[in-house]
């Protein structure tokens, strides 16, 4: 008897405007395959958009692309977003104060916090060779 590997989907996205949408379309298909409800599917898509855009905008990746891996492990979906960029120190990323954002032109800066709120677990691994964000959502 051979053990079947868990289903896995791998994408390599060029860093181009709106390419994060390709990632969310894939996430929607995977979530549907897992019979996740619409709310969980939407949470996954929003977290994935944030993680992908962060990689696009902040990695300074020399490869010009971001890799996204979707892995179904039992009743969990594990998503890894990896860039080959300069890395970052999460402890030095300030979470904005909401009062300051109300009157501000720049509403950005919530990505890391949002990802952590939307997913069940989130891990950040970052070195000078790149960053991997691993996000997990349970059924």
Q: Residue 74 phi/psi, 5° resolution?
A: 65, -120
Cα separation, 40 vs 80, whole angstroms: 17
Query: Of the candidates 23, 121, 132, 139, which has an alpha carbon nearest to the alpha carbon of residue 87?
Result: 132
Task: Tell whether the model's pLDDT for residue 41 goes beyond 90.
Answer: yes
Over its C-alpha atoms, the chain yields an Rg (Å, rounded) of 16
Kindly give the residue spans of alpha helices, DSSP state H, lying in 12-134. 20-33, 38-58, 98-102, 111-118
Can you give the pTM of this predicted structure? 0.86
Q: Are 23 and 58 in contact (CB under 8 A)?
A: no
Query: What residues form DSSP beta bridges with 138?
Result: 76
pLDDT digits (tens, 9 = 90+) for 59-112: 888 889 999 999 999 999 999 999 999 988 777 776 655 555 455 555 556 788
């Amino acid at each position: 008897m051979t053990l079947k590997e868990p289903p896995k989907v791998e994408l390599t996205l060029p860093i181009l405007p709106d390419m994060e949408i390709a990632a969310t379309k894939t996430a929607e298909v995977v979530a549907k395959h897992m019979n996740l409800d619409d709310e969980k599917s939407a949470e996954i898509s929003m977290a994935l958009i944030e993680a992908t855009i962060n990689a696009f905008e902040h990695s300074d990746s020399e490869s010009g692309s971001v890799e996204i891996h979707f892995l179904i492990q039992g009743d969990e979906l594990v998503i890894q977003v990896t860039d080959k960029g300069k890395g970052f120190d999460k402890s030095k990323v300030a979470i904005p104060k909401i009062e300051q954002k109300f009157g501000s032109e720049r509403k950005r800066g919530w990505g890391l916090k949002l990802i952590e709120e939307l997913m069940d677990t989130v891990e950040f691994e970052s070195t000078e060779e790149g960053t991997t964000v691993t996000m997990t959502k349970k059924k």
